[in-house]
């Protein structure tokens, strides 16, 4: 059982993968669940839109797709993230790339933990939980919050 990171193409490299694993494991543990097999694939927009079309019948660009394989208390799934889209969103939202990447990375885990984001109220709760998880990152690794 593990959290794994891989890259579909390009020169992207996740900074501090062991810290990210520890952080995500703690997010999962705090929900009373255990880490199963969680596989992240960092890819480009074209790869992700092909997956979106093939498996979800959506013809739109997105920053993340989560495939949920959770069984019982074991959190497992495949999470695909467009590094290109994360970069564009970081610029759009005026935040550092790493902060936006962490938000998207934990967003996938929150989906695996059962948090939806389709309705306005679900999306607001997702955002609250993302903020809580980012604060946990800052606490765990003594990062000064970005204002």
Q: Looking at the domain assignment, is residue 27 inside a domain?
A: yes
Q: Looking at the domain assignment, is residue 146 inside a domain?
A: no
Pair of tokens at residue 27: 């997010």
Report CA-CA distances (Å) from 107 to 11, 66, 104, 112, 130: 23, 9, 5, 9, 6
Residue 81: give the domain boundaries: 2-140
- Name the 3-class secondary structure at 135: helix
| Per-residue confidence (pLDDT) for residue 142, from 0 to 100 | 81
Q: Which of 19, 112, 26 is nearest to 72 (CA)?
A: 112
Averages of pLDDT over runs of 10 residues in the chain (147 residues) are 92 95 98 97 96 93 96 96 97 96 98 97 98 96 70
| Per-residue confidence (pLDDT) for residue 30, from 0 to 100 | 97
Our measurement of the distance from residue 69's CA atom to the centroid of its chain's CA atoms, rounded to an integer in Å, reads: 15
Whole-model pTM: value is: 0.93
**Domain count of the fold of the chain:** 1
Q: CATH number of the domain at 103, please.
A: 3.40.390.30
């Amino acid at each position: 059982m593990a959290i794994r990171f891989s890259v579909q193409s390009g020169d992207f490299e996740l900074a501090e993968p062991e810290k990210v694993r520890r952080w995500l494991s703690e997010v999962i543990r705090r929900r009373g669940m255990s880490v199963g097999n969680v596989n992240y694939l960092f890819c480009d927009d074209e790869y992700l839109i092909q997956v979106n079309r093939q498996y979800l019948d959506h013809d739109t660009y997105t920053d993340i797709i989560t495939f949920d394989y959770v069984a019982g208390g074991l959190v497992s799934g495949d999470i695909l993230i467009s590094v290109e889209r994360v970069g564009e969103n970081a610029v759009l939202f005026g935040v550092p790339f790493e902060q936006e990447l962490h938000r998207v990375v934990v967003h996938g885990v929150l989906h695996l933990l059962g948090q939806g984001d389709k309705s306005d109220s679900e999306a607001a709760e997702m955002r609250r939980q993302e903020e809580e998880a980012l604060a946990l990152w800052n606490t765990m690794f003594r990062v000064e919050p970005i204002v």
